[in-house]
Structure 1
Amino acid sequence: MLLITCPVTRTDELVADRRIRSVANHPTHLALSVECPACGSVHVYRTGRRWESRPAAAPARPAAELARA
């Protein structure tokens, strides 16, 4: 389930996953094309960053190393 705001009616709508028409993976974001239950149109919603573009986490260090630093 997704909570979207319809740009036509300006209402918040709860949308089932089956209404997602396509997902596009862009370099900076994901774009979801969602069929709106309020107006019947397909709207595109951008989500945050791509999974692959997230920086790698620093390797964990033992607590003893942290205490000496």
Structure 2
Amino acid sequence: PDRGQGLPFPIDTMFACYTVFQAYDDERATAALHLAVTVMQRTADEIEDPEMRQSFLTNVPVNQALQALLP
């Protein structure tokens, strides 16, 4: 991060937190997963072009992994 501009790939970071929490059976796993999915969905909602939005959701590995965890 550069001077408070945020993480370069926050979804990746949140998913990594989820996987670590999950591996240690830590109750924070659910919150980390929920946050990662929320950020993914909000980011997708900001992509105006339908093809680009679909590509973001289906071609980005972390987004594929998140969607596989959704009910």
TM range (shorter): under 0.3
Task: Normalising by structure 2, report the TM-score.
Answer: 0.23
Task: Normalising by structure 1, report the TM-score.
Answer: 0.23
Larger radius of gyration: 1
Higher relative contact order (CA 8 A, sep 6+): 2
